[in-house]
Amino acid sequence: MKKYKKIVRLIPLDQRRFKFLYIFSLLLIFCLFGRLVKLQVFNASDLQRKARLIQSSKTNSLKKRRSIVDRNNRLIAYDKPLYKLWAHPKYFNFPGDSINRVRSIEEVTEKLSHVLDINDEILLRKFNNKMSGIMLLDKISEEKAEKIKNLQISGLDLFKYSQRYYPQGELYSNLVGFVNDENIASAGLELHLDNQIKVFNKSNLIKRGGDGTPLPDNSAPGDFISDYKSLGLTIDSKLQKASFNALSKQVNKWKAKKGFAIVMDVNNGQILSLVAVPSYDPNKFWQYDSELFRGWYSQDLFEPGSTFKPINLALALEEKVIQKDGVVEDIGKINVGGWTLYNWDKKGNGYIDYPKVLQVSSNVGMVKIMQNLDSKIYWDWLKNLGINKNLETDLFESTAGQLKRKDLFVNQSIESAVTSFGKGFSISPLKLVQLHAALANGGFEVTPHVTSTFKETSNRYPKKQFFSHEASKTVLEWMESVVDKGSGSGVKIEGYRIAGKTGTSQKALNGSYTSKKVCSFVATLPVNDPKYAVLVVVDEPSKSYAYGSTVAVPVAKEIIESLIVIEKIPPKIKDQGMIVKKP
């Protein structure tokens, strides 16, 4: 049977329909092309940003600061992690609930009150009919924050931050300072060494897939590890506490304005303790007068008085204007350029040797000794000692001492005369201890510092030598006689050779001296192998009979006794004219 093919008649396309399809196709192509241009050209940067947000997440570290520790790694300051709890009631949901279920505020506060040990009514009052952005609690500990997390309640957010904490309270505040509530350094080492204490972490990105799965990238192994370094101090906390207690007791006893005590290694400038009274609690800094935040021991100046006499004697020895075995006549007063200068007690001492000049603290004797030194040379020596220069240290910004102009010093004889017993110029307490350290270590300059990583100028350049070994050794032995026989006898400790010098200077106001005093005492030990310098300064004791010997010496003795125990300094005993170690 034959098969017949079906014949289909082709009907010509309607011209209007054809034009419509053609125009529609062109419009569609142009629209797609326009969309492509918009995405690829005009919206490219915005789309890239959105893609990066989806594909990667940025790690933001806390604004942290390094811990500060003493030389035995005892904590002085550290960052304590705390949390803020925020609530969004419209999202409250418990584990196991359906997605659309919203728990009541009462249900949530009931659970929170058990965890936080807070009455739920207190929490309820904080909501105040708000449904989002409610800060419920602040300063939540890590332990309680973990309990809140374990509740797994949707709508509760914990914001982590760090707060600076000072576990030793007022003991270090005048040295370390504090950071304010906004974590901004505001005083002391916290401010002065801010860049060393801040933790600077790199900004890192974690790459993720479309479903949020982390993808391998080029991050180094340590990129996301916190900085656990500490700022180490040379301070010993036991000695710091002993010094603080001794100074506080004496400042209170004499109703003084303030006091300062320091113990320093004379060979390298490391400070073992540095205390100032009155102090403050850096954890509650807002309760105190801002005047307490200043490091006055390096920023305020005072006339050192008789504690500068050993320095002057070293200069006289260096210039050979006196001999070790010489004597000077002291009749109790002396006229210089029309001015009459007296001893502190207005009494004469007759012919006395130079150790005796220090023992009785003879002003007249010192004037006569330094009159042998040409005033131009004398001024040059003072400048060489850095009297009028800033002291470079890792402590507070220091204030340069004040020294009279050279022409005045040279042409007016009274200037060099009063300088001979520590008046007419001013220095900081920190500068004074530096100069006495040079007397103790053989004449070399050291830089006082408190950080164990501090790089001294003397480590980078040849050490500057202030005095010869012979001159400094001689003066140190003369200072030892002050403790053995003179005004420093109150610091004497059996079995230990201690050198010292007391100082009592009047405070000047508007060019004239007042009845207000600064009492001080500086000590070096042990004389046979000098290692430590101790300086005590008490400003404006308000009771009668306030002198370096009565006010500052007792503080120094307590500090030295603690230093001997903490540093295990062995005693020395004299055996048939020889100095030997006591077994």
Please provide the DSSP assignment of 269-295 as one string: -BEEEEEEES---GGGGGGS-GGGGS-
Q: Does any domain span residue 209?
A: no
- Output the pLDDT for position 225: 45
Q: Does any domain span residue 62?
A: no
Residues 150 and 245 in one domain: no
- Output the pLDDT for position 407: 94
Residue 358 CA to residue 349 CA, distance in Å, equals 12
Interval 36-56: pLDDT, tens:
777 777 777 776 666 665 555
- Output the pLDDT for position 27: 84
232: β partners: 69
Q: Does any domain span residue 67?
A: no
Burial of residue 94 (CB within 10 Å: 0-12, 13-18, 19+) is middle
Single residue among 108, 133, 167 that ends a domain in this structure = 167
503: β partners: 520
- Output the pLDDT for position 333: 93
Contacts of 124 (CB under 8 A, 6+ apart): 105, 106, 109
Q: What percentage of the chain has pLDDT greater than the value 70? A: 86
Contact in structure between 107 and 92 (CB atoms under 8 Å):
yes
- Positions of the chain with pLDDT under 70: 1-6, 8-10, 13, 47-63, 200-228, 455-462, 511, 573-583
Q: Does any domain span residue 129?
A: yes
Residues 344 and 429 in one domain: yes
Residues 370 and 469 in one domain: yes
Residues 138 and 266 in one domain: no
Amino acid, single-letter form, for residue 342: Y
Residues 389 and 300 in one domain: yes
Interval 545-566: pLDDT, tens:
999 999 999 999 999 999 999 9
H helices present in 2-41, as ranges? 15-37
pTM of the predicted protein model: 0.80
Single residue among 122, 142, 167 that ends a domain in this structure = 167
Greatest C-alpha distance within the chain: 163
Q: Does any domain span residue 8?
A: no
Q: Does any domain span residue 34?
A: no
Q: Does any domain span residue 176?
A: no
- Output the pLDDT for position 578: 39
Residues 324 and 408 in one domain: yes
- Output the pLDDT for position 213: 44
- Catalytic residue positions, numbered: 306
CATH code for the domain in which residue 137 is found: 3.90.1310.10
Residues 147 and 258 in one domain: no
CATH code for the domain in which residue 527 is found: 3.40.710.10
Tokens encoding 207: 């790459």
Q: Does any domain span residue 218?
A: no
Residues 422 and 562 in one domain: yes
Residues 315 and 422 in one domain: yes
Interval 268-283: pLDDT, tens:
999 999 999 999 999 9
Domain encompassing residue 280: 237-581
Interval 223-279: pLDDT, tens:
444 556 889 999 999 999 999 999 999 999 999 999 999 999 999 999 999 999 999
Single residue among 167, 199, 220 that ends a domain in this structure = 167
Residues 428 and 543 in one domain: yes
Residues 380 and 493 in one domain: yes
- Output the pLDDT for position 575: 44
- Output the pLDDT for position 579: 43
Total domains in the chain come to 2
Residues 163 and 248 in one domain: no
Residue 129 CA to residue 382 CA, distance in Å, equals 74
